Structure 1
């Protein structure tokens, strides 16, 4: 004879597991690491804060036609590669325009930034890591207090997140005297270990134009 209480309990348990699974799918966590909060001297904090605060739309200007054409070629090629991850054309183009703008503004390669985003968040705007890092470039909330306006919620805003991420990576690159391997490790909170830098370098190659190295 079947115990009705056992059946009911099992049914509830199954529904709970199903609901939990759906919630996980709805808000996937990023598997990357996180930057570690370190004391900043006033001059560095002020410089980083000023760089973050200079809000401007990603509208590149070109003095030469060949530079403009090179940008448009990059934009078209990257848009095609990103289509499966971001299906809406306008959103995809705005994202790529902002990546290019913020990467160039920070003195970084757009291919490197795209590779880092792929590893950090898988191009998920609302990704959250187990450590609490947020958004495309998995920026830790403490940065919003240290060099921003204190509103960590703004790290889910596309340009804000990309600007923070690029400025922070540039900061780490300066600290490491141009050593990208160590700078990436510091960005991930795993300085000195090869897994994360190697993963970003591998992903970067997927976002190079034909003929680039």
Structure 2
């Protein structure tokens, strides 16, 4: 992808008063036989030094990652476990630099994890048959994103100037939308039309909104962010 091509990023972010209600999650890669899967559970603390241990904010030891994962699988019991076959990690550095306000809403999120290829595993398949490959702190829950967004987009994001272009409050008040990119990439009149369509359809994000986002992606517009529902 040529570096001369500039994209826009549209971020949908939960309004400030609600951010404390949204939990953070961590990412665990496990191997079963020859297959690798990704699990996610609510965060229990800081993961650092790649030593598979949890620590509190003061650096005090809390627990082993292996014990925590085993405990979660035991709690699930006979129920099926949701896992994923692939993971894309989106670097939020340039976005956070472009908007201190966005950074303040998601102060601990340096990356955004996109899980793909969901698969349901039987707990019987997992218990005592898995190896933990890595464990990392994830990000705040509730993000939404353009379906086409992937880890390969980190390259052009890191090489281009990203500016905060527009800020839009969602129709139901649950989301605030931040649009980032290169100044002049989208005409104001065109943006107003997209804004109208997105605000009107945001309640049906998984269907109608994604159709609009795919259209925007073809125009080199990308959305990443989160809402409360």
TM bracket (short chain): under 0.3
Normalized per residue, which structure has more helix?
Answer: 1
Normalized against structure 1, the TM-score is what? Answer: 0.23
**Which TM-score applies when normalising by structure 2?**
0.22
Larger-Rg structure:
1
